[in-house]
A and B are shown apart, each in its own frame.
Chain A
Amino acid sequence: MNIYEAVITGPFRIFYEKVIQFLPNFITSIFILIVGIALGFLLKNILSWLFRAIGLDKASERSGAVELLKKGGVTEPFSKLLSRIIGWITVIIFAGISMSALQIPSVETLFERFLLYLPNMFIAFLIILFGYLLGNFFGRAALIASVNAGVRFSNLIGKVVKYLILILSATMALEQLGIGKETIVIAFAIIFGGIVLALAIAFGLGGRDLAKDYLDKKIKCEEKKDEINHL
């Protein structure tokens, strides 16, 4: 009898008691999650309507945000995108709260660590975003300035400027996330130094004749100048 109880019914009873003990937390957790999903859905629709009503799409078009998104392959209207992001953030927050409601220590610790890590992720996201914006801006500025200066490899200059800024911002973002801190900085320094050295060698060897021709033209004034007064 004792053996039967100890081996068969005992564990079941304990399991049953634990389930009974856990069930309210589980139901609360599910309830919170459902409320979160419903709230996220509702918020998404309300905000989408509100953003459209206040003319956010036109404003974002004027500010250049739409151009940026299009370049990133996002074709949705800005109002829809923003309301969707807010909706998902609501769902994620409620999912976190619902997991806490389960009162499982390991899940609670995991959630706590995730919450503490969130600011780093947010800052890294901002760094990448600004890096992308600045990379495009300065890349285009360098391209136009080079074309107007008559540089034949303007496209290359524009791309070098753009990608250097993107690499720099990616390095900073990874450093912020704490991923391979020293390794990334060293790798970036090596890549950057390598590019500069490669360019110096390439120009030094490959551009020797070009530089000679250019200086010859400038010093000897061989190139016929325009005397047009544009204004």
Chain B
Amino acid sequence: MTNSIFRKEIQERIGEIKEADILVGIPSYNNARTIGHVVRAVQAGFAKYFPDKKCVLVNSDGGSTDNTMEIVRETAIEDFESVLIRHKLDMFKLATPYHGIPGKGSAFRTIFEIADALSVKGCAVVDSDLRSITPEWVELLLKPVIESDFDYVAPLYHRHKYDGTITNSIVYPLTRALYGKRIRQPIGGDFGFSGRLAKFYLTKDVWETDVARFGIDIWMTTTAIANNFKVCQSFLGAKIHDPKDPGADLSAMLYQVVSATFDLMETYAYLWKNIKASDPVPAFGFQYAVGLEPVSVNLDRMLERFRLGARELKDIWKEILPQEIISFLDNAAGLKKEDFNIPAEVWVEIIYGFAVAAHKKKMNREHLLKSLTPLYIGRTASFVIEAWNSDAQEVEKKIERLCMVFEEKKTILIERWD
């Protein structure tokens, strides 16, 4: 393991702090608009829930040009009385640019290294573009580690039924079927973990792979499960982000997440092949219904993208998927919007087909996984149509059904894998 090099002033600051109890890391890149709110929420969380602990807030920045780091340094809660029960705070703040491949994973690596250098007991990371974060998130992500000896705390959110579609249609059902743990938001982005686990993460040589980018979340979750760390979930409420153009580089995002997931399947093949079903994990926090902002969906454009893929990428898909799936997709491309449907059974065959093709190196990894994008868009369109009139509970049932199909068809994956 090679440590990324801290700047001199950060080394000096670490020398001054020496040791800490808890650390919250915020990775950022041009988040000047929202990071102030996140920093205030974390500071309030420290003061309200951990007044007797030595707390450190770390901002690991990817070279922002909009004064993100300055905002972190300058942000402070002016009116402590409004949020605090006790006014005592032993808190330090560090803002540093990270080294390595540009991406969220590299930012996390710097946070792990600082956590390790300060020998913290509990650690958490939260996204810098959150608009719904409250001081309670700090408590919910860290208390299970500090007080109940858990090593990894995954988030549980209420999200809009069309939000988190990579999570709902690929990562959650696949991770659950493979490793047998029902972690609902394995790539949620906001996690709590022990200092012991942070140290363990640093022993892994993955920082030049997709883990350094969007693959970090699934890597952290899977590594924790597969290495028998104590895992739980905490209900955080609603997850609302700063609006951005989510379709901008969907293909690259999907590639990084799925590629990291498939890499982990290679690493832990000995483990997941022997797991037959899934179990729930302990959950913390009081669950309540929350109002969510509406999500606009352009269904026609999604179907157009799927049809374009079905027409142009059919020859590539033929090398990956069974003939009956190809025939089904061919037929689906010709259907009207109201009749369009990619059922769970077909979707599971597609994902398992791509996993086996990646394992058997049937073609260049990037070509293989980027050719999945139109299929993913097609499945998302199908889900949008299916869940058009469904409420949150009904949607959750549909996702549960998809998970069961992933688990039932796992034997097919194992047969084709070897």
A residues adjacent to B (C-beta < 8 A): 61-64, 67, 137, 140-141, 143-148, 150, 152, 154-155, 158, 223-231
| A229 and B308 contacting across the interface, CB-CB below 8 Å | no
Asked, given contacts A143-B312, A148-B370, A230-B165, whether A223 binds B298 with beta carbons under 8 Å apart, the answer is yes
Partner of A152, one of B163, B246, B308, B362: B308
B residues less than 8 Å from A231 (CB atoms): 164, 166-167, 187, 189, 214, 217, 253, 257
A188 to B373, CA, bound (A): 36
Q: Which chain A residue lies CB-closest to B293?
A: A227
B residues less than 8 Å from A229 (CB atoms): 163-164, 241, 246, 295
Can you sample 20 A-B contacts with CB below 8 Å?
A62-B360, A64-B361, A64-B363, A67-B363, A140-B316, A141-B366, A143-B312, A144-B367, A145-B251, A147-B309, A148-B251, A158-B312, A225-B245, A225-B296, A226-B296, A228-B295, A229-B241, A229-B295, A230-B164, A231-B164
Asked, given contacts A64-B363, A227-B297, whether A144 binds B165 with beta carbons under 8 Å apart, the answer is no
Asked, given contacts A62-B360, A148-B373, whether A226 binds B308 with beta carbons under 8 Å apart, the answer is no
A147 to B371, CA, bound (A): 9
| Shortest Cβ distance from residue A55 to the other chain B in the assembled complex, whole angstroms | 14
B residues less than 8 Å from A224 (CB atoms): 296, 298, 301
Asked, given contacts A150-B308, A154-B312, whether A228 binds B371 with beta carbons under 8 Å apart, the answer is no
A147 to B370, CA, bound (A): 10
A148 to B374, CA, bound (A): 7
B344 within 8 A of A: no
Q: Which chain A residue lies CB-closest to B245?
A: A225
A residues less than 8 Å from B370 (CB atoms): 144-145, 148
Report B294-323 residues with CB < 8 Å from chain A CB.
295-298, 301-302, 304-305, 308-309, 312-313, 316, 319
| Shortest Cβ distance from residue A199 to the other chain B in the assembled complex, whole angstroms | 19
B residues less than 8 Å from A67 (CB atoms): 319, 362-363
Report B362-383 residues with CB < 8 Å from chain A CB.
362-364, 366-367, 370-371, 373-374, 380
B residues less than 8 Å from A141 (CB atoms): 366-367
Of residues A61, A137, A155, A226, which shows the largest number of chain B Cβ atoms within 10 Å of its Cβ? A226
Q: Which chain B residue lies CB-closest to A230?
A: B166
| A155 and B298 contacting across the interface, CB-CB below 8 Å | no
B254 within 8 A of A: yes
B250 within 8 A of A: yes
Partner of B371, one of A144, A223, A230: A144
B residues less than 8 Å from A61 (CB atoms): 360
A residues less than 8 Å from B367 (CB atoms): 140-141, 144
B291 within 8 A of A: no
**Beta-carbon contacts of B249-281 to A below 8 Å, as 1s and 0s?**
011011001000000000000000000000000
| A223 and B301 contacting across the interface, CB-CB below 8 Å | yes
A residues less than 8 Å from B187 (CB atoms): 231
A residues less than 8 Å from B297 (CB atoms): 226-228
Partner of B163, one of A137, A150, A228: A228
- Interface of A, secondary structure class, is helix
Number of interface residues of B (CB under 8 A): 46
| B295 and A227 contacting across the interface, CB-CB below 8 Å | yes
A residues less than 8 Å from B253 (CB atoms): 230-231
Of residues A143, A148, A152, A158, which shows the largest number of chain B Cβ atoms within 10 Å of its Cβ? A148
| Shortest Cβ distance from residue A102 to the other chain B in the assembled complex, whole angstroms | 50
A152 to B295, CA, bound (A): 27
| A230 and B312 contacting across the interface, CB-CB below 8 Å | no
Q: Which chain A residue lies CB-closest to B371?
A: A144
A166 to B222, CA, bound (A): 44
B162 within 8 A of A: yes
Asked, given contacts A140-B367, A143-B312, A154-B312, whether A227 binds B246 with beta carbons under 8 Å apart, the answer is yes
| A230 and B361 contacting across the interface, CB-CB below 8 Å | no
A residues less than 8 Å from B165 (CB atoms): 228, 230
A101 to B247, CA, bound (A): 72
| A144 and B246 contacting across the interface, CB-CB below 8 Å | no
A residues less than 8 Å from B162 (CB atoms): 228
Apart from A141-B367, A227-B296, list 19 A-B contacts with CB within 8 A: A62-B360, A64-B361, A140-B367, A141-B366, A144-B316, A145-B251, A148-B250, A148-B373, A150-B308, A155-B312, A223-B301, A225-B296, A225-B298, A226-B246, A227-B246, A228-B247, A229-B295, A230-B253, A231-B164
A residues less than 8 Å from B371 (CB atoms): 144, 147
B residues less than 8 Å from A226 (CB atoms): 246-247, 296-298, 301-302
Partner of A147, one of B257, B313, B363: B313
| B254 and A230 contacting across the interface, CB-CB below 8 Å | yes
Report B216-250 residues with CB < 8 Å from chain A CB.
217, 241, 243, 245-247, 250
| B312 and A147 contacting across the interface, CB-CB below 8 Å | yes
Asked, given contacts A143-B313, A147-B309, A154-B312, whether A230 binds B360 with beta carbons under 8 Å apart, the answer is no
Report B130-177 residues with CB < 8 Å from chain A CB.
162-167
A229 to B131, CA, bound (A): 14
| Shortest Cβ distance from residue A59 to the other chain B in the assembled complex, whole angstroms | 10
Report B34-61 residues with CB < 8 Å from chain A CB.
none
A121 to B359, CA, bound (A): 38
